[in-house]
Amino acid sequence: MKKSLSLAFLFLGLMFMQAQEKDWSIEINYPFSVGDAFGSSNQGTIGVGVKHRFATAGKFRLGVSLDASWFATTFINDTDPIQELKYRDNFWQPRIFAELPLSQDNKLRLSGGIGWTLLRSVGGLAFFDEQGQIQGGAEWNSGLNMNIGLSYEVSSRWFVQTQYDFIYFSQANSPNRLVGLIKLGAGFRF
């Protein structure tokens, strides 16, 4: 019990410590897709991210980030018997980014980044096609990712944010090579 209370007080103390610039942040957001094929068939579940700012160039803060987003959809096929097909999409997005303050008090910030997206899609029923190749099941896809976003600090540590991710998948057999994701969320700087 004493260890738990000590850890809780230590955590609260760290939360309220002040620093000039906080180099790390963690984020949680609600992702949803925009666009045609992907956007109409997938619902966002949750997104998380971590950012590290390692350099300053003029007014710009430069850093690296890793975002992960999970999507889930269930299709109901009106056949006899009725079938439910579950699809899951997992996005992993490492990138480099830059932040620019837009207000005098640095509370409103514009950010932009470029990186790579790895997408793992799991869905439906796996089956063999006429050539004996397995179809369905799990598939990997990847491609260039660019994003732009806005964040607003509600306190010295907490912020709200929105961002748009534009993904161009490199595999020619992708049903939709261009995917857009919008993320709305909040984060904590430390």
| CATH number for the domain that contains residue 78 | 2.40.160.20
Q: Give the ranges where the chain is alpha helix by DSSP (H).
A: 2-16
Please indicate, yes or no, if residue 165 is contained in any of the structural domains: yes
Q: Is there a domain that residue 12 lies in?
A: no
Count of C-beta atoms within a 10 Å radius of residue 163: 24
Domain coverage including residue 123: 21-189
CA distance 110 to 113: 11
pTM: 0.76
Phi, psi (degrees; rounded to nearest 5) at 128: -100, 135
- By the 10 Å C-beta count (0-12 exposed, 13-18 middle, 19+ buried), 61 is classed as buried
Domain count, the chain: 1
Q: pLDDT tens track of the chain, all 190 residues?
A: 555 555 555 444 544 444 456 899 999 999 988 875 554 456 789 999 999 999 999 999 999 999 999 988 776 767 777 777 777 889 999 999 999 999 999 999 999 999 999 988 887 555 445 665 545 566 788 999 999 999 999 999 999 999 999 999 877 555 567 888 999 999 999 9
In a domain, 10, yes or no: no
